[in-house]
Amino acid sequence: MRAVDLAVYADALAGESAAVTARAERARSRLRQAAIDREARSALGAECVARLQARGLLRPCALAGVREEIGELEADLDAVLALQTWVEARLAAETLSYEGSVRGERATRRPPSSS
């Protein structure tokens, strides 16, 4: 494999890792918001809660579904990170191999003749 191909792939995987991390954080945020909504529902009157629901400001949240989504996203992230680690290790090996071959070429070259 060429080092440049591995580097491009590692970069794409870093982007995917960031995207999955952001999705997981948004799901965690929905859980936190659901907890706030639940507390507000119990503190506010029924008419106020009904008005807020009608405006879409208090929404039901399927907590089990969100928790399951977070678990899936965390497992996805673990898999992406494992692949990214493998690709980066291959990239490091390719880079070392290339640098070693370049050094070897320099060591076997003869200096220019002075004649």
> What is the per-residue pLDDT across 36-67, written as a single tens digit (0 to 9) for each?
999 999 999 999 999 999 999 998 878 999 99
Q: From CA 65, how far away is CA 67, in angstroms rounded?
A: 5
Contact between 17 and 81 (Cβ < 8 Å): yes
Determine, yes or no, domain membership for 96: no
Determine, yes or no, domain membership for 110: no
Q: From CA 106, how far away is CA 100, in angstroms rounded?
A: 10
Determine, yes or no, domain membership for 106: no
The reported pTM is 0.72
Q: From CA 34, how far away is CA 25, in angstroms rounded?
A: 14
Determine, yes or no, domain membership for 114: no
Range of the domain at 22: 3-91
How many domains, in total, are found in the chain? 1
**For the chain, what's the residue count?**
115
Determine, yes or no, domain membership for 99: no
What's the pLDDT band for 101 if we cut at 50, 70, 90?
A: low
Determine, yes or no, domain membership for 105: no
Give how far Cα 70 sits from Cα of 3, 58, 65, 82, Å: 34, 22, 9, 18
